[in-house]
Amino acid sequence: MANAVSYEYLKSIQGVPGGIPTLDGDGQIPEIQLPDSAVSPFKGQFADEAELTTEYPTAGLADYAYVDDTNSFWYWNPALTVPAWVNQEIEEADYLLLSTAEKAMVPYLIVATTVVTP
């Protein structure tokens, strides 16, 4: 009888806050069962934008990654009409076109617009 009670107790605390984490099909603890402090918003370093968007087609607020071919950080911007990854470095002319909400979601680094004179 003690084994049945212990088994039922253990089953009741699986996958709940303060309980025992379960494993997914890959043998990993699902991110949703980890405390916020254990989940980093940094998604990693990627060769290019295509690799980043393939690995993370969507993301969460404050998520960011480094993209080698642009030598810059990219942030997930949920305030866009269609949420997307955006390069932190943005030309001044493009920055001026963003809404206040779009500007607030990413710590943009404004790059002076290059003017070419003949």
Domain residue ranges of the chain, discontinuous segments joined by +: 1-33, 40-118
The first and second tokens of residue 32, run together, are: 């949703």
Q: What pTM, to 2 d.p., does this model score? A: 0.60
- pLDDT for 19 equals 85
Where do we find the tokens 């710590």?
107
Q: What is the pLDDT of residues 23-71, one digit of tens each?
A: 888 888 887 888 766 778 999 999 999 999 999 999 988 899 999 999 9
Residues 78 and 15: their CA atoms lie apart, in Å, by 29
Q: What is the pLDDT of residues 77-93, one digit of tens each?
A: 888 888 999 999 988 88
